[in-house]
């Protein structure tokens, strides 16, 4: 089965177009993460997997247009066929190895989504055209935003990192709009602070097109984003891991460079100055 026709991709397609509550988005996200197993889970098992009540699972199935969870499960068994069983020794992995394996699966899922490059290319065009380009990331997502802004500044003439919440971020958005910004890039990761939602709503009201990298297409930031690009986080350790969102950020950089005709010249200029200053130890 190809990555474009994976169980996760088929589930994602099933959920698209439905207005889901936060609890229902949590169920959907859990199902995508365990796409191969979901057709064989009871409503109680799915509820435990998602950390919700069993009635919530039933309401979720009804929200998708089914009579109840049994009807949804029958549908899933038809459209989400089981994948080949994992290696027999997979259960022998310790907790650290399991966390790594989960991140590898997140990257595989991201690869499947990128089989259709149109959303990333569209995002690249929007980001390249915005002068300046504000990049928002608060709390857990601050590192992702900083990494993107650091590299983007080497090829984009005016990148502005927004890493302060509260009313300060509103001031920074206003300043970017006055300077001519047309788009804003946001990295949004669990647990999705309210200040991020408020900032994105404010940015949209100010006329900016909001491009968001989030952990799920059903994340709370979806309703305040014009273009959302999902990349799952790992949840197997005490603190979430975000390899896929980081990689998606680098993919966005690549797409943005494709729409910046002077990107290569800027990189060569930076390399020449860095060599003259002895900036790096190589």
Question: In the chain, pLDDT over 70 holds for what percent of residues?
Answer: 93
Q: Which of 156, 108, 132, 142 is nearest to 252 (CA)?
A: 156
Determine the average pLDDT of the residues in 186-192: 93
pLDDT confidence of residue 180 = 98
2 pLDDT more than 50: no
pLDDT value of position 92 = 65
Residue of 213, 244, 7 lying closest to 119 (CA atoms): 213
Q: What is the dihedral of CA 265, 268, 269, 272, to 10 degrees?
A: -160
Contact, 76 vs 66, CB < 8 A?
A: no
What average pLDDT does this structure show over 19-34? Answer: 83
The per-residue pLDDT for 282 is: 66
pLDDT beyond 90 at 21: no
Contact in structure between 229 and 187 (CB atoms under 8 Å)? no
Q: Contact at 8 Å (CB) between 38 and 80?
A: yes
CA dist 53 and 118 (Å) reads 37
Which residues are bridge partners to 207 per DSSP? none
pLDDT at 22: 79
Spatial neighbors of 4 by CB under 8 A, at least 6 apart, are 112, 115, 116
Coil vs helix vs strand at 122? helix
Q: How many other β-carbons are positioned within 10 Å of the β-carbon of residue 237?
A: 14
**pLDDT confidence of 88, banded at 50, 70, 90?**
very low
Q: For 245-253, what is the mean pLDDT?
A: 97
**Per-residue model confidence (pLDDT) at position 119:** 96
For range 124-141, the mean pLDDT? 97
Q: Rg (Cα) of the chain, in Å, rounded?
A: 21
Judged against a pLDDT cut of 70, whether residue 85 lies above it is answered with no
């Amino acid at each position: 089965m190809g990555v474009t026709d994976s169980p996760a991709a088929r589930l994602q397609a099933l959920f698209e177009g439905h207005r889901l509550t936060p609890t229902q988005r949590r169920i959907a996200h859990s199902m995508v993460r365990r796409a191969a197993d979901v057709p064989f889970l009871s409503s109680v098992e799915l509820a435990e997997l998602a950390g919700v009540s069993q009635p919530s699972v039933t309401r979720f199935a009804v929200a998708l247009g089914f009579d109840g969870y049994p009807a949804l499960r029958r549908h899933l068994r038809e459209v989400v066929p089981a994948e080949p069983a994992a290696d027999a020794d997979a259960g022998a992995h310790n907790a650290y190895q399991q966390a790594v394996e989960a991140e590898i699966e997140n990257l595989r899922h991201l690869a499947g989504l990128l089989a259709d490059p149109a959303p990333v290319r569209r995002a690249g065009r929007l980001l390249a055209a915005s002068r300046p380009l504000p990049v928002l990331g608060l709390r857990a997502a601050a590192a992702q935003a900083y990494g993107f802004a650091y590299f983007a500044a080497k090829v984009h003439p005016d990148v502005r990192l927004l890493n302060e919440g509260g009313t300060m971020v509103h001031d920074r958005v206003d300043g970017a709009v006055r300077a001519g910004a047309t788009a804003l890039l946001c990295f949004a990761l669990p647990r999705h602070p309210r200040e991020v939602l408020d900032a994105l709503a404010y940015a949209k009201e100010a006329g900016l097109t909001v491009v968001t990298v989030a952990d799920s297409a059903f994340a709370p930031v979806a309703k305040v984003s014009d273009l959302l690009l999902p990349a799952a986080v790992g949840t197997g350790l005490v603190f979430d891991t975000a390899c896929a969102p980081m990689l998606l950020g680098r993919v966005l950089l690549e797409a943005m460079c494709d729409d910046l005709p002077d990107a290569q010249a800027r990189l060569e200029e930076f390399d020449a100055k860095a060599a003259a200053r002895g900036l790096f130890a190589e």
